[in-house]
Structure formats: structure tokens, C-alpha cells
Structure 1
Amino acid sequence: MASSWASKLSLPSSETALLSSPGTTILLCALAFALVYLSRLRTGRVRQQLPPGPPALPLLGNLHQLPMAYQEHTLAEWGKHYGDVVYARIIEKPILVLNRAQIARELLEKRGAKYSGRPHSAFILDIVQWVQLVSMPYTERWRRHRRWFQTALQARNILNAYEPLQHIEVRRLLNDILREPDDVIIHLRRYVAALMLGIAYGHSPSSMDDEYIKMVADALHLVIEAGAVSSMLVDFIPFLKYLPAWAPGMGFKRRGLQARSLIRDMERIPLERVKSKMAAGTARPSVATALLEEATRSGTLDEAEEREIASVLGIMYGAGTDTTSTVLSTFILLMVLHPDVLRKAQMEVDSVIGDIRLPDINDRASLPYLDAVLKETYRWLAPVPLGVPHELTEPDEYNGFAMPEGSMVFTNLWAMLRDEEHYLNPDVFDPERFFGLSEDQAEDTDPRRIVFGFGRRICPGRFLADSSIFLAAANIIAVFDIRPARTADGKETLPQPSFIAGAVRHPKPFLCNVQPRSDKIVDLLMTAATAEM
């Protein structure tokens, strides 16, 4: 679910306007050089009945009105003032903001052929040269990568085949927490990373110091670090990419070129090691081995095909870990803040499963309250507040308004998940809101129909991510009590429910006290771990 594109308007910095950034000088110079070019683009433009939106400045459009952080709040306010579809401009790029899920489904799902493009990122595609499923345009190449993802992450028989790995890794997670309870968030990240590395490459990391994990973390950190204001500007003023990397204000290009090398290693090295293990007969079954074997059988395995396979595997891990781990981290935070919810969920687990075994994936249908807790965690968090932008690939019309071809379409997931028509008191964490609904209401309000995106660009790994989140949450509350941390004088201190602004909402670091619920449950955990050795 985390992507470089979403970061284009979700930047971890202060809440000042975009024009107050160090990129101001570059922007003003670029605008001066671009004046004639942009004026030519505007010449002859037919006036259309566009959706309402905030007044724009010449050339800049609405750039000056977007804050550096928490843009979803600003876009939600625009929606309240101008309507459910808001039109804006950044430089010459038309922007459509959708603040209600019903409209997103109408446009991105029912009219998916028009709304499944991706805006071209000069930074990601031209400077970093990271071409992968998330940023690819809607082409036959994208469809091929998507088919590979769907085969690997959506077929029921394949998902069932991953369950043994999920159970092994969740037992390892529980033992890690038992051994080092203060590092519960780190252990959650390792759990998610181990699942994706195991599925993609057959690799099982024992800690966050694992070479593969560090390789990916270094590459993605550099991309995100470079993906600040200046890199956003190059997406809207593409000729900036031709300026030399040594020029003042072009630090984003220098870091982007460094990231290019790291991204290539991130994709190439793990696949080469899988190939070596296959040759030695020691490779574990994985998506990598399946794709390589398929290409070998069909006679298509050449250097170009290997690059395609490497791209699919790299984004499978890179995009799948950040959002899943932040949902689990937020679940822990919410259990600290809402002990009554934790206690009720634990009572449900105890009554259904007892103390003779640990929860497994098949228990979910018997744990409706825990399922509601996880739905409310998705809703309250909105892990990727603005989703990943789509692009309108041909002109369209909605409710009498012209929807211009080439528009960047933002789905404000944060606003959708706080729509008071569907969620009363939306800022309150309340799992009970999902009970007593009709079948249609339950479907319409299920946050999982929103947080994973819409239409043909919906997250292909959503079923695996959701089942892995459930399995971890069920086992953690079965084995552990989660309480506020205590000060030196023994007083409990509640953490603040605050988040780091960015493409993905990460809870700010917090402390908690995680302890096993009983000696018996520890014995059960030890027995389960021994049986799997």
C-alpha cells in the first residue's frame, strides 16, 4: 500500500506553505523560463464547466494553498466548501480531488478504463529510473506485471499455501516480543518483512539487521529523502530534470541518482542469489523461483525478462511492508489507549479458542469483535491518507462537470474514512460502530473497501496483508497484556495518538508495557515453538 507517488503531496516537514521551502529559488527561476512555454499551452484553451474549486493564481495555480504536511486536511476542507469533487491546478496540471468513497467507486471502478492511468513522475521514472507496478502507466507491460502479482498474491490456493509461513513467523514474533518486550514495534516490522521476503525470495530474516532488509531500507530511505519539495516540482516542471546535479538547489537530483544505483542493487542482488540457489538445488519455493521456472519453460528467460521479474519482486517487498507494519503499530497504540477494547477482544479470543492453542487464520469468522477492532483501526488510521494518485487518460463528464484528460486524481482516503454520513463521531475510536448494520451498510462502511484503493489500481496484496494483520493481532492479544508504560515512580503514562506526516501515516514513537498474560500461555507458546523447530 506505501508508494513514492503518494509522497508527492505528503511530505514529512513543517506545515508551512510549499513556497516557503528551499526549492523556492528553483521554482521562481523555472517559472520565469517556463512563462512562454506555459502561455503557449494555455493559448486556445476552451473554457470548460469544470468542477468547483479554490481560486487559482496565474501560472502557480493552487500550489501556494497546499501546506507542507497533512494535505488531506486541507483537501477535506475544500470538499466541505466546494463539493464532493474539487478541481484545482498545480502549475498547469489539473487536479481532481475525490472526498467521498461513493464517487471514487463510480469513477475509478465503474469507469476504470478512463481512470487507471498514473501521472508521470519525472523524479521516479526519469531520474531514479525506478519503473515498477505502482508508478507504471496503464499499458500492456503494467497488465503483465499485474497478472504476476495477482497470481502470487490473490489466488485462494496460493494464499492458503502461504499460511504455514505466516504461522511460523507469527510464533517467531511472539517469542521476539516475549524476549524483548520494549522492542515490540521493531519486532512487528521484522514479522512483516520476513513474510514478504519469504514469499518473494524464500529468504527468512532473523532480525532487522538482515542484509536484505537493510538494503531495501537504505534504497527506499534515499528515495523518500530525495522526494521532497524540489522533486515534486520536477514532476510539475519536467525540464528541471535536465539541469546539472551540481547546480544550486539540485540536491534532489544528486540523491535521486544515488538512489538509482541502490534500487538496482535492491532488485538485482536477491534475484541473483535465488538463481544461484536454484542451480545448487537449495532454493526454497518462492515467487522468484516460480517466475524463473515459468520463463525457463517458455524459453523467454533472457536479460530483459530477468529485469522484469526483478522489478516485480522488488516492489512486492518494498511496497508491501511499510503500510502493513504501520497498521500493526497503530493497533498496539490503540490497545494501550483503549484498555476496555483490549479486554473485550481478549475475552472473545479466550471464549472461542481457550488456552489449549493459539489463534490461526481460520478463527477469524468466529471473532467478530476483533474483526471490528481491526476495521476500526484501518478507519481511524487511514494508513495512506491520500492514496496513490490516478490519472484520467481521456476526457470524461460527471454530474454536468467536465473532467479534463490528463487530470491527476486524488482519492482523499482520510476524508472518506471520516465521512459523517457513514461514521458518526469519526474522530472517536469505536469498534461498536460496525455492529447492527444491514448487509449493504456493512459492505459500504467496511474500511477495507477504501484503504487499499479503488478500481484496477487497487492493492494486489490486500488479502495477504489483511490476513497477516489479523493473525498477528489475534496472537498478540491472546498471549500479552498491553498497558501504558510507567514512570520511575510507578505512574502510568498514556502515549499521545500523534502521527508523522507523510505519504504513509506512522505513529510517532511511543512507550508501552507488554507482558505475558500468564505462565500457562508462555508454556503454550514454548510448546508451539518447539513443535515447529
Structure 2
Amino acid sequence: MASIIVAVAVLVIAYLFSLRSRHRFPPGPKGLPVLGAAKEHPKTEFWKTYAEWGRKYGNIGFISFHVLGRRMVVINSAAVAEDLLGKRSLIYSDRPFPPMAGQLMKREKSMFYISYNERFKTYRKFMHSSFNPNASQLNWPILQKQARIMVANISKTPQNFVEHLRRNAAATTMKIAYGYTIDKDRDHFVALAEEGMRVGSLAGAPGKWLVDSIPALKYLPDWFPGAGFKRQAKAWSDQLYTQSLEPHDWVKAQMAAGTAEPSFTSRLLESRDPHVSEAEHDDLVLWTGGAIYAAGADTTVSSVKTFYFLMMLHPDVQKRAQAEVDSIVAKEGRLPTIQDRASMPYLDAVLQEVLRWAPPSPIGIFHCTSADDEYNGYFIPAKTTVIANIWGMTHDPEQYPDPFTFNPDRFVKKGENDTTQPDPREVVFGFGRRVCPGQHVGEATMFIQMATTLAVFDISKPVDKDGRIIEPEIGFTTAIVSHVKPFQYSIKTRSKEALTLLMQDLAAEA
């Protein structure tokens, strides 16, 4: 009997090894049995290690490894990203659905976790109707007003400039999504949304929850010792749903009273497809509108904060961009607008280089394969987590020579036949059917905040009590949206004329 068991075991093991040998996974760290690359996987700034592994394991544009049996593919090359996430988007447009942040928190309808299905297509249709290049221009007055409020607030309390950036992002997204005006520092809806972002970040943190590594734990009874994560997931699920429900219901109440301002939510609620029930349409609008704050608020704050940091480090770039802005303020006696963007090629190049040098979401939101695939002789199984290393792509020395140097001239044409380096916006905003639908609003937001800032302020390195310049350290947080770490700075008004124009415009609108 024992010999039969041994023989069967040998045959099973041989069969498993034969299966494994049939599949040639992309190269990468093999790690340990069962654990895979869990022990050598970095805890911070994953994107840098992924790029390093890419160079170490063949430099073919993508790598793979597994963590506790879960296969992952990391794409380090823009060309490979276009091949897989773009040209093969039918296979690569799903999302991983993690046990904690997805299943236990019931986020299957969330735009950030939803599978590529008919509901997702409806979300995209809703987003496209409001945020395509032409429709996005309807939001320009909101973006311009909020940028001026932001700069006015910074002029009063420059020591709180990050808080002012966050308030601006909240005010802009709430106005666009719900027609809601923020008129006080501690707003209920903004507090809800900010807490929701904190919860989402905690729930989705890689490696934080054991259930993500051992999915069977999700079947433990809620009362079982050690199952506190299940109770936490339920509380967070209710909290995130409330975050979307309350402002959605507020818009419906405003519409019933005839006082609703035009917004993403109000326009969609008024234009229901007759083939869709009112309840289903309401639910679709609720989940789509709820994604706008989470998608836009933190990313723009990250990029504009990086812009301030880089202007401090590169006064020559700041002065050159200011000269472009000053040509409008001085010649026409007005502040720059988003319509001026076409006549400000250098500032547009600065925007591109900010996004390239520090992409706000260095590894984006993960993709997932919906079927087995083969690429360049390598096997990529269904349900593989696919990570686009955006930071790796924007720091590829073959595409961007001297990639760690901040140099907007990469994107400035010197002559009619001159070529520039690849536009980083082609990768920074995502890929294929999951590309960011709010790209045009995001770019316009960045541009007008940068232009208004340059018109009014000088940003420089601070000095200590002995008059010595304080040199900042360059470091970034590790999260889906990465921020430059806190830094000291000096922000001073450089143009009283521009500040006066700004205050006059705000007073006229008030």
C-alpha cells in the first residue's frame, strides 16, 4: 500500500513539473518555494526595484514573479505596455479583486475594482460625455476660479500651502461632481471624502492584510478570534458607500427644490436612458460620481506639490516660465487663463516634465488578465496581476537620456524639423480601456494652477536663522498616489500687480 502511495505521489509531482515546464513565464526573481518573491519584495518605492529587476533579468521590457502563489507581471517598457494593455486590451482590462479591499468591502461596483463588463462600459460612457476634450472646457471657469482662490490663500498663509492645495482639489472636484460649493475650512462632505481616501489607502495597502495572502481566511466567522479584519471591512464598506451616497442625495434634493447647479451628477440624473430603470440609473450615477473625487483630488495635489518643489530647486526654469506668463500679464493687463496654454509652449513643457520626473501614480492601478495569453514566447496565465511601472517607463534612459535630471527642454522644439522626447502623458494617464477619463481636466487643472502661481510668486529654498540656505532632501511616499515628502520652502509675492488683478477678479465674482 505504501509503495502505491509513493508511486502515485511521484507521478503527481512529475505531472506538476511537466505542467510547469510547458509554461515559460517571463523572467524575474524566483524567490523561495511557496513564498516566492515575498521576502525580497521591497517595502517602499516598489517602482525603482521593479525597474532594477527589469535590467537584471534580460531587459526585455517586462518581468514576472509570484508572491505566495499569486503570479505578477510588471511592465517596464512603454512599447510592451502598448502591445499588452493597448492592443490586447480585451484580455488586459480586468482588475484584480483582492479579498480585503474588494470582496469583503463589497467594492465590485467601484470604478477602481470593477471587472471589464457592461456596467464598466456605462461608467466610461458617462465619464466620456462630461470629460472628453470639448466637454471638459465647460469646467474651465471652475478650474480658473479655484486656482485663483488657492493662490490668494497661499499669499495670506504660505506656511500652509499644502493645505491650500488640498482645499483647492476638494473644492474643484466637489463642484464638478455635485455642483457643491465649499465655503468653509472644515466641510462635512470634504471630511467624508478625505476619510474615504484614507480608508481606501489602508484597505488596499499591499501586504497589510493576511487575508490577501491567504484568501481562505475570508470564510472565518466574524466572531472568530483574529477575524477583526472582517468587522473592519464591513465598517469601512458602509463608510465608503456613505461617502458617495450623501452628496448624491444632496444633489437630488437640490434638483427637487429647483436650486441645483449644473454638475456631472445632475446632468446624468436628468438624462436617463428609457431602457434602464430609474433605480438602476440612479445607482450607476451614484457610483460613477463617487469616483470623481477619489480619482482627481489626490493626483493633482501630488503633481502641483511636485511643481512647487521643482521650481524651488530650479530657479532658472522658474524664471524662464515666469517670463512666458509675464508676457500676458504685462501686455494685456490680465491673469493667464487656460485658453493661453497654446501660446505658452515652455510652461506646457514644464508640465510634461513634472509628470515625467515624478508621475503621481508611479505604478498606476493594477490590471488583471481575463484569459491565458502568450507574448514573445512567454506564458501569462489568466488572473495574473499586471502592473504598469509608469515610473520605470518615464525614467527609461533609452527614451529619456539623463532621466533623473529635471529638464523641460526635452519637450521644446528648437526648429521646424526638430523632434522631442516621447510625451510622458501617453503613459502617465494609464493605458487601453482603463486610461484615465479625467485626463483633460487634470491637465487643465495643473496648467492653470502653475500659471497663476508663477504670475504671483517666487518659490525658493529657505534659509536658516544664520542666513544659510537649507538644501531639501528628495524623497517620495509609497502609495498608489505618491507625494514628494514634506520639505521646507520660501514663497514670496513677486508681482503685486498680478496679485492685485487676482484679488480684483475674485472680488468681482463674489
TM-score, normalised by the number of residues in structure 2: 0.91
Higher alpha-carbon Rg? 2
User: Residue 506 of structure 1 aligns to a residue in which SS?
Assistant: coil
Q: 1:354, CA displacement in angstroms?
A: 2.3
Please say if 1:349 is aligned against 2:325.
yes
Q: Who is 1:172 aligned against?
A: 149
Which of the numbers 90, 115, 124 marks the counterpart of 1:146?
Answer: 124
**Helix, strand or coil at the partner of 1:86:** strand
What SS does the aligned partner of 1:409 have? strand
Could you tell me which amino acid in structure 2 is paired with residue 136 of structure 1? I
Equivalent of residue 334 in structure 1, options 289, 305, 310 = 310
Counterpart Cα distance in 2 of 1:472 and 1:175: 11
- Structure 1 stretches of 5 or more lacking a match? 1-38
1:271 aligns with 2:248: yes
In the TM superposition, residue 235 of structure 1 has moved relative to its aligned partner by 3.2
Structure 1 partner of 2:112:
134
Amino acid at match of 1:63: A
Alignment match, 2:175: 198
In 2: Cα distance, 1:441 partner to 1:150 partner: 34
Shift of 1:96: 1.2
Alpha-carbon contact 2:72-2:387 (below 8 Å) kept: yes
**Are residues 1:70 and 2:45 paired?**
yes
Q: 1:129 to 1:42 in 2, by over 3 A?
A: farther
Query: Which deviations, in whole Å up to 9, do the C-alpha atoms of 1:109-160 show, x marking residues without a partner?
Result: 111111111112222222111231121111111111111111121151x212
Per the alignment, in what secondary structure is the counterpart of residue 113 of structure 2? coil
Worse-superposed segment, 483-492 or 402-411: 483-492
Distance 1:442 1:146, change over 3 A: farther
Q: Which residue of 1 aligns with 2:196?
A: 219
Which residue number in structure 2 is paired with residue 308 of structure 1?
284
Distance in 2, Cα, partners of 1:42 & 1:285 = 60
Match of 2:369 in 1: 392
SS of the aligned residue for 1:94 comes to: strand
Aligned: 1:527 with 2:501? no
TM-fit CA distance, 1:529: 1.6
Matched residue type, 2:29: P
1:255 CA drift (Å):
2.9
Q: Report the equivalent of 2:10.
A: none
Q: What letter corresponds to residue 314 of structure 1 in structure 2?
A: G
Distance 1:407 1:530 in 2: 55
Cα separation, 1, equivalents of 2:415 and 2:231? 55
For 1:469 and 1:136, how far apart are their aligned partners in 2? 28
Q: Give the Å deviation of 1:439.
A: 9.6
Q: Indicate conservation of the 8 Å contact 2:329/2:498, yes or no.
A: no
Q: CA–CA distance in 2 between the matches of 1:163 and 1:170?
A: 10
- Inter-partner Cα distance in structure 1 for 2:465 and 2:93: 55
Q: Which amino acid aligns with 2:296?
A: G
* Residue aligning to 1:405: 382
- On the 8 A contact 1:359/1:475 being kept in 2, the answer is yes
Query: Are 2:68 and 1:91 equivalent residues in the alignment?
Result: yes
Within 5 Å, give how 1:107-118 maps onto structure 2: 107-118=84-95
Alignment match of 1:364 (pick from 316, 334, 341): 341
- In the superposition, relative to structure 1, how do residues 440 and 460 fare at CA in structure 2: closer, same or farther (>3 Å)? farther
Between the two proteins, the alignment pairs up a number of residues equal to: 494
> Structure 2 vs 1, CA of residues 161 and 227 (structure 1 numbering), >3 Å: closer, same or farther?
closer
Q: Which residue in the other structure is 2:29 paired with? A: 54
Q: CA deviation at 1:368?
A: 1.2
| 8 Å contact from structure 1 (residues 120, 235) kept in 2 | no
Q: 1:482 to 1:272 in 2, by over 3 A?
A: same
1-structure distance, mates of 2:206, 2:318: 41
Shift of 1:220: 2.2
Does the aligned pair in 1 maintain the 2:178–2:263 contact within 8 Å? yes
Aligned-partner residue type, residue 56 of structure 2: H
Which residue, out of 484, 490, 509, partners 1:513? 490
Pick one of 117, 120, 128 that aligns with 2:97. Answer: 120
CA contact (8 A) 1:128 1:259 kept: yes
**CA contact 1:227–1:252 (8 Å) conserved in 2:** no
Output the aligned Cα RMSD.
2.5
Asked whether the equivalents of residues 223 and 256 of structure 1 are also in contact (C-alpha less than 8 Å), the reply is no
Name 2:7's counterpart in structure 1: none
2:467 paired with 1:493: no
The range that moved more, 264-273 or 116-125, is: 116-125
SS of the residue corresponding to residue 493 of structure 1 reads: coil
| Distance in 2 of aligned mates of 1:523 and 1:190 | 22
Q: Is structure 2 residue 294 aligned with structure 1 residue 318? A: yes
Find the aligned partners of 1:346 and 1:437 in 2 and give their Cα distance: 19
**TM-score of the two chains, using structure 1 as the length reference:** 0.87
Q: List alignment gaps of at least 5 residues for structure 2.
A: 1-12
Tell me which residue corresponds to 1:383. 360
Return the letter of the residue paired with 2:439: R
Contact 1:396–1:405 (CA under 8 A) maintained in structure 2: yes
Greater shift after overlay, 355-364 or 453-462?
A: 355-364
Distance 2:34 2:417 in 1: 45
